[in-house]
Structure 1
């Protein structure tokens, strides 16, 4: 049976699917030569955004992104779905429409049954079909550790790009999925979750941000990003720095998956989550009511998380109601101020 193998046990990284830490990544990117200036490159490397955007005409721009990781769930079909939803999300975060995808496969074909890979690809294919994205090819290598993801291309009107640099004072912040995925994924590897909890975290990760993205296009939204490997506060810090504003977050309003604090107390804190905290701790003022575990949870490394939307205050409540009416688990979690710019305050 394809699902007889515990996929998360095959990952030397602990099954969290974490990205390279933000500090290490910054150091690497800093050493790269500057790219040749191009007026058609609307979004590039300089703002740590979710995807690149390249203008083809006055009416059309391409959105390009890629993402892949080791298994974070044991069911191969679900892993394929999670990976696809995660990769596509970057296009949704930019306000774009995904149109094509390429599979990226690393798989130990001589030691794992090929039916496992078939199930991973089937899961991804079904999620692409749900997103109305055409699979146009891919690339595979024989590797000791299974990894899977996709390169995704989308389209957007050049005037409607939603970057992480446009937040304005007075905006309200809306988050469209709960956090805690990294802690849950690591707990799965340690056999600390029951089936209901496994199903819940899988449902969060496999849910497309399609509805959230399409809904926000009808409102006055100034900035958007998706919450993934750098955690809620890590991605919020990119909005704060890129938009030259202060982000204020009400910790009590942030949706968190069930039992996250209990699991954190038991010691399940992914290394990526701790790296995220260490990277942003100097630019965040935390309420005295929050202990160290609360701070880690707000930095938890997420896979296929929700959108973090900065919406005009006049539209935020209506957008929230519209999202919730359409089944999106959305919450207003904070606001944007013109105070200690580049800083985050967590109340």
Structure 2
């Protein structure tokens, strides 16, 4: 595999990508203690805040315009500086797309161990992020940088949407189909990459998925019958689907056989590999998951995804339009993976 770096970035980080996230139950406890969840003084202009576990905050400026804002950064899950920058930027932009908004402006968040990483490698990380933003029509207009123990990179992003076209992870209805836009398994594959256990072809597949923009989200918000949307990241498919279920007062019936997964990730899971974040995810929400599934399937369904696919709940009549939009915007695997039913949690069959 060709390299564009002097130092393997993954050797400088204890964990990487969205696997860096604090486990969902622990995060909820921390936010609750801090009084951040559903604060009493929320202004009316704040359409989406911290109480619903959504991907971005939304502030209404007037009857025709709302601003979506997010910040996302993490440690490297690949060794290539350029790829790391591209992946981190894709992941941050996804939070805006998942709300149905169009990203406009970004600020780079950069923390680097200057005694361990070259200026050239840092420049390539920033160039990778800029490359992805340029492809999305987004301007990186500034940012902030510090010297720190581990390399971290990401973006704060502002986006725009009509207030009527904002989508949250709530709003799914009984009878909805649930569609996933990308294959699972990049957490397992990035862990294997860190141990030099991926082929060049496997690596290319992983990076291609993590740099595929979820730009369909802006269009999906305008399709009649689309009720809820989020993206699948560090809490795994089950974690983010469960957030949608709780916010919508529904139960998801997940067809495990329909879920697209990378073949290499499937092999790794069947061989007993698992990430630490996957285990923490299951410990956080496993009590809400029911049905019949094997250990390797659980590993894939809880695998932390970095720049994962959109997860959309829509009326059955909108299913074809949603899948067509996803495929037009680069998804080759978009498909129905679940249906919403009355009840709570997730049932797997």
TM band (smaller chain):
over 0.9
SS at match of 2:29: helix
Q: 1:310 aligns with which of 310, 313, 316?
A: 313
In the alignment, what sits opposite 2:14? 12
Measure, in 1, the Cα distance between the counterparts of 2:345 and 2:18. 28
Stretches of structure 1 that go unaligned for 5 or more consecutive residues are: none
Q: CA deviation at 1:242?
A: 0.3
In the alignment, what sits opposite 2:240? 235
Superposition CA RMSD, Å? 1.6
Measure, in 2, the Cα distance between the counterparts of 1:211 and 1:37. 30
Q: Is the 8 A contact 1:219 1:319 kept in 2?
A: no
Q: Is the 8 A contact 1:220 1:311 kept in 2?
A: yes
Measure, in 1, the Cα distance between the counterparts of 2:194 and 2:96. 30
Measure, in 2, the Cα distance between the counterparts of 1:98 and 1:318. 22
Q: Is the 8 A contact 2:82 2:124 kept in 1?
A: yes
Q: 1:334 aligns with which of 316, 335, 338?
A: 338
Measure, in 2, the Cα distance between the counterparts of 1:219 and 1:38. 29
Q: Is the 8 A contact 1:76 1:116 kept in 2?
A: yes
Q: 2:26 aligns with which of 24, 27, 30?
A: 24
In the alignment, what sits opposite 2:53? 48
Q: CA deviation at 1:343?
A: 1.3
Q: Is the 8 A contact 1:51 1:94 kept in 2?
A: yes
Q: Is the 8 A contact 1:40 1:56 kept in 2?
A: yes
In the alignment, what sits opposite 1:154? 159
Q: Is the 8 A contact 2:278 2:304 kept in 1?
A: yes
In the alignment, what sits opposite 2:174? 169
Q: CA deviation at 1:325?
A: 4.8
Can you list the C-alpha shifts for 1:224-278, whole angstroms capped at 9, x where unaligned? 0000001100000011000111111110110001122321244431111111112
User: In the TM superposition, what are the counterparts of 1:254-269 in structure 2 within 5 Å?
Assistant: 254-269=259-274
Q: 1:274 aligns with which of 279, 282, 306?
A: 279
In the alignment, what sits opposite 1:345? 347
When residues 302 and 326 of structure 1 are mapped into structure 2, their CA distance, relative to the original with a 3 A threshold, is closer
Can you list the C-alpha shifts for 1:50-89, whole angstroms capped at 9, x where unaligned? 1111111111111010110000111100100000000000
Q: Is the 8 A contact 2:250 2:345 kept in 1?
A: yes
In the alignment, what sits opposite 2:188? 183
Aligned length: 343
1:38 matched to 2:43:
yes
Stretches of structure 2 that go unaligned for 5 or more consecutive residues are: none
Q: Is the 8 A contact 2:185 2:265 kept in 1?
A: yes
TM-score by structure 1 length? 0.95
Q: Is the 8 A contact 2:165 2:221 kept in 1?
A: no
In the alignment, what sits opposite 1:132? 137
Measure, in 2, the Cα distance between the counterparts of 1:256 and 1:119. 30
Can you list the C-alpha shifts for 1:103-140, whole angstroms capped at 9, x where unaligned? 00011123311000100000000100000011111000
TM-score by structure 2 length? 0.94
